[in-house]
A and B are shown apart, each in its own frame.
Chain A
């Protein structure tokens, strides 16, 4: 404890010494007293010398710096200089401590010192210092943190300089180093090694007084749109001769015209002034209607709305479709080669033998069926029928020389032509002989019988058309009458006929078989129905757009249907594109009598009562990427019109050549080649 109290006064001494030195230095420098508050006087050193208790304490415990706690388990606390144990001070008991506390008034001042083992009594100064530390104040008693500020320099002005040393000479002489550096730079510039300072070029700036007018930044949206769709005002009409000061005589009003002009309303007048005549320009008076005219002009410009009229400059050739050159679509028939003569009266039907195309069969109004050689037009055989022939059809099987003939008297005959291959003729004779006509059912509507090398079918009604199935065993017939049972399907190998329909769906005009499937196309006057013969159901009903269908044909695959009508219309039905026509044409001026499609070439022909046959290039694509093509390429004229306005009645194509054969009402058959 003494050491502690000894250290504290030392610190205080040092601080006070600093305070003392400062005023002394100030006095010594300037020789005057400063106006400063008085400093607290430190305690006297004599008091310090009066105390020797620290020495006593040190002497009392001579154990050195060994921690006391090492001797907690021992009865002594170290050794003295003689080596003898120093005994521990005696511990006070609780009762003794309590009694000291009650009786001793300085008990609160005592602190136990472990080093010496005795109680130390604190002084008042020490207690105040501890209290300052506990309350956060400065530990030094009497310390003033707000000492007045002492300037480092004096504010008093002196007449003498502080430093009396004179300025050296080098302050007044320019620097040699700088001079050397500048010389080096000048030399480098002279030698071209370095560039001098770059002269700043002044750009001559020209000001545009009207720049703001050209720029579009200041323009509003309405002004922009007005510029974009600028519509100039309509021009004033130029003056005419009547407005001259000396017009010709015919422009001057006479009495009648003047009266008429004066009586008319002002809005109805053609001229709003009266033409007058002066012989000299100096005599022309002032125009008294000038103000009125200008006002009306401004009124028109302000009130009359203007509208931009879009005018399309379309070249008529651009509106037409791009058609190919007909010469690129050859071959198609272009010229009439010759006529085949022999029939008297109308030639109503023609048919060509399949595959070879050497023979042509024709049926006419004279009740004959004739076989012709196409190469020369020679008639080589004639069959006499008992009535007017309405339809003939060669069997599509090339191994048979069968010909189906429908003629008036309600008969259908199956003939052996007897021309062509001898072997095929014999085979056909055997086939006809084997037909089981004797095994017919009783009460059958159609009766079959043999009659010297031909089969005769007695039908219940007059037959309009007879057509073969592509396999050659079945053939169908259509009656002329409008009845429910107008269509019959006949089977040659069994000599059997049956009617596939029980109800009337319309007046049947034509039937045709599907080339590859077991289907039947039935054309009434307006519609075409497709029936599945295997399942006996209606597959499709086609809306044709024709008013009166007269003829029907299919292509080789059965996916397209060609229809001709008595209302001059021709329809192409693509059966894969719904039930509406793919194309409708009206190139004829009279009824279309027959339609034919070629098996090898993409050619289509229609014949009509107007005496012409239209030949079309008709290409069919099976894939759906490409569309079908139909171009009219040639109009062929032949045959003569009869008094009842019939001309061409039937047509067919040669099976191997692009030749067209037409049957005429004048009794001739025409062959067209190219």
Chain B
């Protein structure tokens, strides 16, 4: 009650701010919350012709089907490992790129590099997979050519379980790092130049300025991006892996998305694919909530 009496004057004073919320809430209601009833088909054996009302309820059967499928353990482990590697190795790269970009004085150079490093984002995995199969080919690929030049034997990267995950991480990093850097470049651009000026007067070197001004300045963005990235830990890159893997590397490369695809469960198995999606959503939700709390405690910054 006391809360309420505190709230009302605040709301009254800022009523125009609350009005600004309305278009967004209408949008949410129509396009996001109206269709959300569809999640219940995860607990059904959904027949599209009978609709939700007419389909049979099966409880948790669809989830059991996922957890009890033959290769679930391996697939789950691969998913987590590949995602984890991608986060650990790839999350910092765009930040480093953005920071380095900020150190560049020559405009033409800065502009060209920025424009170039985001190009790979626009090529589809179909195209990129074809390119990398050529580059890494044991017989004609340039990488094995270099290895051969230094006296090493050819490595069949795509058939070697020791290398496959590294290839996934490297190709994903190469495709998306430049694109992801844009967010940090923009965040840095938003920093007040006076801060740098002041630091310079204090005699801080360029490296010191990075740690005392640039990084703290974009910490909010970094935390936001990291929390969201951790939330998508169960999406290890299905499209990428589907186009890069082959039966000899299922042991290390098969993830939830590819497994379900190969089992032919993506089409027409509406209930099962919804169940898998719901499972991923719940995990993501927990991770995002947890990540937010953790970030709040450690850095004092959080999404909400």
Partners in one complex: no
Listed in ascending order, the chain B residues whose CB lies under 8 Å from chain A are: none
Listed in ascending order, the chain A residues whose CB lies under 8 Å from chain B are: none
